[in-house]
Structure 1
């Protein structure tokens, strides 16, 4: 096997200091090939290297060639380069004016150094709209203008119509928002909305358990709750108060029932209503067209006797569908903890 002999160091190289060798190398690499290195340097390093380049003068081609070969060998053994907000800002700082760099970096990571707008894009449109409708329309306009267009569209669709039109008009007339205003809005969102949302999302273990009980069949659910009554009656009562049952569907607004009827399996509805009280049947039938209600009654009559367990499973499936629709903000459920309030 033939071994490559190392290229001898040119005599002229001894005249150059470490800083001058680095300056010559960066000059040879140019902007395109040297960008990844420039962005790794601190401001002081960039100033020192730039000053050295400015005073470098003519560099013999043999020196440049040796530096490039040496650099190529060292780079091939590197694991990776590291890109970050800081290195990006340093790179831009060597190319663009300071105010332009600041504007670009604020768009990338937000005025507070972290994209609050990315966080808001993970908040459901129903929750965000519920918050915005209590804010000044101008504030809502600024916030929505910073969100992704698809998310802003969904939020506008959920907001009250007159309010959303007002917000849209303000977004159309909006000039560049002052940085101080963005800072204030971000601070308010962080201190009020996001912190309150985080607290609200700390799930009560009783709520989680109520969801588990909702998924059980009726006989298992009752057996478990009765057993819990003996050991922890307060917990059992709390779970019962948080459970959303098939009977609670009777308290829904007609518009919410209509959504459930459209999305549920028709046989499942028929089975669920087969064992339901007459008032519940009337509520569901009133949410259908006259022809659909007639066909549903005929299907129920044609079923003949059905097992109670099959009816309960169908009712549980409708409850799960209702809760899923509510989580997506498509319907509203009556809050079991309050006679008055509604939750989305």
Structure 2
């Protein structure tokens, strides 16, 4: 049943004629029939007043007999009949549940059985890799394998990969592309296994992970309108730590490179000079240019000298300094004094 409906209904504490329990009590019984993880997950989404109301109902229930449980389940079934479970995201949710129940290895195997037409992870990741990276991964493979990969990625990067291959290999690959028909799922699976091994060996298993707070933040940064102001509060209601991690990624130090000189100058007025030196110490000279462009020549030369004189810094010290500057920029952006972002997805 929908807990929201049960807890926001002003008459939910009144049992209907012929009913054993009111709606709040039925919701309480239903929750007590769930496993601990499922019940706590639902409770975490409630507002304090809703949680108090439902918690009081759970504490106030006497012996819960079979007719009470049947009534609670029937109420759930009635609510479900009026709602719809969206298809979007179903694959990810099933994978998450299987990962939790079986572990990653067995979950992967089960997903391949129940979702045979799903694009393999590594093949999908290959579409995002630069052509030069792909060439290094597949250069010593059979021409048929290379041909299959080129047919599965977009034409432009496929053509770049082809151009980077040795001439004799180019001929063999193009010949096999011309003769190829439909690529079987077995062949795609073999290619996926190969790419998984090569990517893991070259870049580590973390390279196979897609998504995460940074990707979510990038989507928000690029989206038009007030996506940030509507999406993040909604996520925070369900998962406050996740919303905080996305929020941290929305303002990245790299975004400061795009500030115009006036905004950069305003930011630098509030930045401690030692923090600035530490933050710039970890950057190549081209990335320092937007900061120096907002200073006088004398001030920029002074900062350059301090960077040269600064001793060796741990990466963590550089990251801490950059984070402090990002926090200052965030505060100025929230106050409307500078603008971070650009294009139709701009936010202030």
TM-score for the superposition, normalised by structure 1: 0.31
TM-score for the superposition, normalised by structure 2: 0.31
